[in-house]
Chain A
Amino acid sequence: MTQAPGQYKVIGTPLPRVEDQRHLNATARFVADIDCPGCREVAFLRSPVAFGRLQEIILPAWLDADSVWTAERIEPLAKPIQAGLLREEFNQAPLPLLARDRVRYVGELLAAVTADTRAEAEDLAESLQPDIEPFPPVMDAWDELSKPSTPLHEGLASNVVMRIGRTVGDPDCFTDAKLRTISRRFSMGRILASPLEGRGCVTCFDSKSGELVVYASHQRPHLLRSFLAEQLYGISESDIRVIVPDVGGGFGAKSNFYAEELILAAMTLATGKPHRWTEDRYEHFVGSNHSRQHEHEIKAYFDGSGRIHAIQAKVVVDSGAYSSKTSTGAIEANMATNVMLGPYDITNYKFEAISVFTNKTPVGPFRGVGRPAGCFAMERIMDEVAHELGMDPIELRLKNIIHTDQFPYTTATGLYYDSGDYGEALRKARAYADEHWLPLRHEGGRYREGIGYAIYVEQAAHGSVEWERRGSPLVYGHEAARATLSPDGSLTLDVGTLGHGQGHETSLAQVAAEITGLPVDAIRVRQGDTARAPYGMGSVASRSMVMAGGAVAAACRLIVDKAARISAAVLECEESSIKREDNAFVAPSGKRLDYAEVASIALVQLHRLPKHIEPGMSEEGLYRPKVETGTFSYGVHAVHVRVDILTGMVKIKGYVVVEDCGTVVNPLIVDGQVRGGVAQGIGQALYEELRYSSEGQPVSVTFGEYTVPSSMEVPRIEIIHMNTPSPFSEFGMKGMGEGGAVGPPAAIANAVSNALRPWGVSVDRVPIRPDDLLQETMDGGGLK
């Protein structure tokens, strides 16, 4: 089943993004650009110590105590943040807004300081002296399991955030002596999202409306409002308005509910004065959620034909010091074990997912969430099995893949795959690699080339069934959109998702244009204002195109239906005989009304509107998918690398992605999502890692030490599309925002391992470090 050509008029069209103009002209408005007379600028004092007892914060005598906010002043105004899962295995600990008694990571908030300018606020913050008695920190999650330290949080018995495990399928498989086995330990480094714009907020009080107005660089405006209302004393949700202006990237890092927004809101409520905080890059490194940092032990049970009978995996994640709301510290390990089996028809699975509190910045979601690590372990072990059997890595994968006639397919962990042709994607990737990259060249014994593959399935746009299954206290699975037709025939869409670089203002307009026949430039998409948009869940988990797209389609159908009803009444014919031609409704007589005329009749020409039709041209459409387990895009990444064995440096010579996200609304946007994701995945594979000293000091807090790849390191990325519509979503669309970042660590590690096979080098960790490659090549006798 593939998307039929010509099935849609506007969906599938490569329209340039309408958002681009304001960004290219530098007229976009971010939180830091919000005009706010009399605004107090805020700087935070953050803990310089990883773990210790905060005795006191000493203020210099000359400092006006009013400008300093410590735990004592904030605690009466707002509650500490609690994040958890409704699972008995989950160990909950509160996240204090400002530290009191204990500090648990470098960067933890100690005090907020206000001044007329940020620079002055920083000077004041620097004059405060936190008196902290340091304790030895917990820095290694894996070791913590065998040699437990004193729990970091009061009331907890250990530093385990959550430990779950299960054996699915035939338990005898794991002791079957006839099967061969391979075990490996794999590691994935700690990274962070590093969007161009950091987080930030402006909080002010609108005395006219009585509202607390919060401008924030955030992915989920309505949830931010709900959480603020839940945490602040003495204000109801209806008295809070959250406005999200332009956002310079989020990638998941702006989806959690952090303390900073809440602290500023409390300060504004208490003083009546507006406040602004803009995260700087140092704060982003220590204060925004980190991601990944996995240790995996994985074991494959297989026979001589290459059929894999079972997989056993133990996943340990360094969750940092607290559970962030709403992701919790268990987000990475639980997701990695849930999706580990990927596209393979493997029914016997034994797993353990363990998340551990340490004295580091808390983890949260970042493009891929657990999937890059799950894919890394699974696809690396697939290559190791292929090598052991002397099989072609693609043949081994084809031997184990889920076939097209098996859809819908329920995995060992209960994921319900909707549609696809995984085998075809593998074959297309191999065909590309064979044509463009073979034969491999090994120049002068110095440069070794290798090709690596990785395949993944990308669960996206999860509905209520998936969130409930995970134990999320918030079970969401719908979106709403309001479509409003104006008397001039222009259409406004208010949505509760929040595009922050994904081009929703374009792609959602394309959906509306498809349904209504209005030209795209007559359609305006508005987002990011809780006073306008119906309650929505924002943009996370690659959900927006499916969910908001579905809601926009539903709202637009209501508009079209009503317009047809009005046209039939006014043009005096049966409603069923009305035909829509482009933006007009035509009666059998040939008389017609366009959208502008219909809207005028419904709004300001009521004398022409029959009484049995309600006035007004604004409709709210709701979307809740019939099957609520999510859509499942998939992709195969193939990469061609060259390794300089004398220096250990890796160069990517070619990269191709074969991807299938069902029906594509805007191919330019899909390609951009794929390429951006791959660039971040290349960063994780070769460059990016947050490192800590054994005392808990972060040692990579600038882009000099934490290197993200530039255009010099990211090659041209070829994309081959397949289009297998989802049977479970509107138009057959599938979420696809994260897959680009899932494949690269696995594919690149496989390619480098293949390049260096002659010396027995096996890449077991990312980022791949030149020193490690050189050392292993040296150990394998590869150097002169």
Chain B
Amino acid sequence: MKIPPVEIRSPQSVEQALSVLARLGSDARILAGGQSLLPMLRYRVINPYALVDISRLKELRSLQTEGGRLSLGALVTHRDIEQLPTQEGEPSAIDLLRRHAAEIAFRPIRNRGTVVGSLLHADPKGDWPLMFFALAAQVELRSLRGIRHLSLHELIAGPLQTKCAVDELAVSVTVSGERLSPLAWGRSKLVHRAGEYAMCSAIVLRYESGWECWVGALGDCPFMLKTASAMLGDAPGELPDMETKLREAAMQDLRMNVPELTAVEAYRHAQNVMDALCQAWPRQGAESEIQHG
């Protein structure tokens, strides 16, 4: 399990990186945090001729909140998000991002692994695709040919597959100010063992336009539970009263999107959505803690 022979290219600027990518095409892979790439190299799942190490490109470390938007450069790590300094009046989803980041794998992985790298890895079990699908983020791809902005729907083509061309470098991911400020949010991630990939993962967001229940960790890529979300939109009331109906709707949505789900898997994913919803639901008094496990 040693990595196969591979050349390392260390461009000094994004421009240089783009020209290296343009020259090498499919012979190159981009190395950012390496937390997914290196195991794949060790298991020889991939065997590129060269790695383009972008870790020295300081310009990709930027983490900006401008005009309410949030933009994360390609080298922003999970840990950077986990430790985003609290700011007064910050958009409500910033804390959602913090909590989401804090539950990714273990600290050494969070220290190195990058958010954009995780998106481009496009593992259906990954944590970030779910988040950025839910927040309707855009990824900026650059190449010598120009700049493209793709939504996650446009970017992710399937498990471990993206529409990022061989000469393109994903330089950032951006969330609009509007999407970054939901009225309420909830999230729930269920893991069998600490630090593992999620068994179930759900994010629930409430905007003026209505509720959105998103699920990940299953199927080809994250998706929204349409019927369940719609049901929440036109039936405000006490959550316990609608729990059974909601759960059924969620299970129906789940099985429609992922027909191979077993009954217990669908039930557990639906339950996990309910747990996320509980967090987001407006209620009186103290938060009831969800005790997983």
Q: Mark A82-104, 1 if CB is under 8 A from B, else 0.
A: 00000000000000000000000
**Apart from the given pairs A119-B2, A282-B43, A774-B264, 16 other A-B contacts in the complex at a CB distance below 8 Å:** A122-B1, A122-B2, A123-B5, A282-B1, A644-B293, A647-B190, A647-B200, A647-B268, A648-B264, A649-B190, A649-B192, A651-B291, A710-B193, A778-B263, A778-B264, A784-B247
Residues of B within 8 A of A (CB): 1-5, 39, 43-44, 190, 192-197, 199-200, 243-244, 247, 262-265, 267-268, 271-272, 291-293
A61 in the interface (beta carbon within 8 A): no
Out of A123, A280, A644, name the residue touching B292 (CB < 8 Å): A644
Asked whether any CB of chain B lies closer than 8 Å to the CB of A30, the reply is no
A702 and B1 CA atoms in complex are apart in Å by: 11
Distance to closest chain B CB from A504 (angstroms): 32
Once A648-B268, A778-B263 are accepted as A-B contacts, the answer to whether A707 and B2 lie under 8 Å apart by CB is: no
Q: Which 7 A-B pairs have the closest CB atoms?
A: A712-B194, A119-B2, A651-B293, A774-B264, A280-B1, A707-B193, A649-B293
Chain A residues near B4 (CB, 8 Å)?
A: 119, 123, 126
CB pair A704 B2 closer than 8 Å: no
* Nearest B residue (CB) for A443: B291
**Chain A residues with Cβ under 8 A from B190's Cβ?**
647, 649
Contact A707 B244 (CB under 8 A): no
Classify the secondary structure of B's interface with A: loop
A466 to B194, CA, bound (A): 42
A647/B265 in contact, CB under 8 A = no
- What residue of chain A has the Cβ atom nearest to residue B195's Cβ? A710
A648 to B267, CA, bound (A): 10
**A687 interface hit (Cβ, 8 Å):** yes
List, in ascending order, chain B residues with CB within 8 A of A783's CB. Answer: 267
Which A residues contact B (CB, under 8 angstroms)? 118-119, 122-123, 126, 280-282, 447, 642, 644, 646-651, 687, 702, 704, 707, 709-710, 712-713, 770-771, 774-775, 778, 783-784
Task: Please list 18 pairs of residues, one from A and one from B, whose beta carbons are closer than 8 Å in the complex, sorted by A's number.
Answer: A118-B2, A119-B3, A119-B5, A126-B4, A281-B1, A642-B291, A646-B268, A647-B200, A647-B272, A648-B268, A649-B192, A687-B193, A702-B39, A707-B196, A712-B193, A713-B193, A783-B267, A784-B244
| B204 CB → nearest A CB, Å | 17
Q: How far is the CB of A324 from chain B (nearest CB, A)?
A: 24
Shortest beta-carbon distance from B292 to chain A in Å: 6
> Given the complex, which residues of B lie within 8 Å of A646, measured CB to CB?
267-268, 271
Contact A687/B267 with A119-B3, A771-B262, A784-B244 known, Cβ cut-off 8 Å: no
A278 to chain B, nearest CB (A): 11
CB-CB under 8 A from B39, the residues of chain A are 702
A774 to B292, CA, bound (A): 14
Residues of chain B within 8 A of A775, CB atoms compared: 263-264
Given contacts A648-B264, A651-B293, A704 and B197 within 8 Å (CB-CB) = yes
With both chains docked as a complex, state the minimum distance between the C-beta of A391 and any C-beta of chain B, in angstroms.
31
**Smallest CB-CB separation from A281: which chain B residue?**
B1
Closest residue on chain A to residue B106 by CB atoms: A710
Shortest distance in angstroms between A182's beta carbon and chain B's nearest beta carbon? 28
Q: How far is the CA of A775 from the CA of B267 in the complex (A)?
A: 10
User: How far is A546 from B291 in the complex, measured between Cα atoms in Å?
Assistant: 45
Residues of A with C-beta under 8 A to B193: 687, 707, 709-710, 712-713
- Measured between C-beta atoms, what is the minimum distance from A500 to chain B in Å? 23
CA distance A710 to B193 in the complex (A): 8
Interchain nearest-CB distance for A779 vs B (Å) = 10
Contact A784 B243 (CB under 8 A): yes
C-alpha gap A126/B4 in the complex (Å): 10
- List, in ascending order, chain A residues with CB within 8 A of B44's CB: 126
A535 CA / B194 CA spacing, docked (Å) = 45
Contact A704/B293 with A646-B271, A647-B190, A775-B264 known, Cβ cut-off 8 Å: no
Q: What's the least CB distance linking B272 to chain A, in Å?
A: 7
Chain B proximity of A664: nearest CB distance (Å): 33
- Across-interface contacts of B5 in A (CB, < 8 A): 119, 123
Q: CA–CA, A458 to B267, complex, Å?
A: 42
Decide: A704 and B264 in contact? CB cutoff 8 A. no
With A118-B2, A774-B264 as known contacts, state yes or no: A687 contacts B293, CB within 8 Å.
Answer: no
A771 to B272, CA, bound (A): 14
Chain B residues whose C-beta falls within 8 Å of the C-beta of A119 in the assembled complex: 2-5
List residues of chain B with CB within 8 A of the CB of A712: 193-195
Complex-state Cα separation, A126 to B47, whole angstroms: 12
Measured CA separation A310–B241 after assembly (Å): 54
